[in-house]
Amino acid sequence: QADNISTEGVEVRKLSGVLPELAPLGTCLLKLDAQGSEMFIVAGAGKAIDSFAAVQIELSVQTVYDGEHSYVESLDMLRKLGFIPVAMLPVSRDRRGRLIEFDCFMERNK
């Protein structure tokens, strides 16, 4: 478990509000690493999620952040939004070698 050594203030905006500024030319990749808030971002994206052809998201097998969704819940939510996993890569392991987090790359299921 990581120790909290400082706090930073950040501006929080909905994905649907910033997407027109960031990707005016069409579909793109959504890369999320938001310290356990990834699925709250996805849930709040609304119709903006339809603009993404793929998602790369960091998911926890072992709980890392208070209130985070389990990786099973997250994969199910993304599947219901039309994405399927194409790659899962380890990010971190505990001292016994067990998986803590992994990056999951998902594509739109067309």
Give the whole-angstrom CA distance, residue 14 versus residue 49: 11
* pLDDT (tens digit per residue) in 24-78: 666 788 898 888 889 888 988 888 888 889 999 999 999 888 888 899 999 999 9
Answer whether residue 1 shows pLDDT above 60: no
Give residue 105's pLDDT.
97
Annotate 46-66 with three-state secondary structure: HHHHHHEEEEEEEEECCCCCC
Read off the tokens for 76.
């199910």
Give residue 78's pLDDT.
96
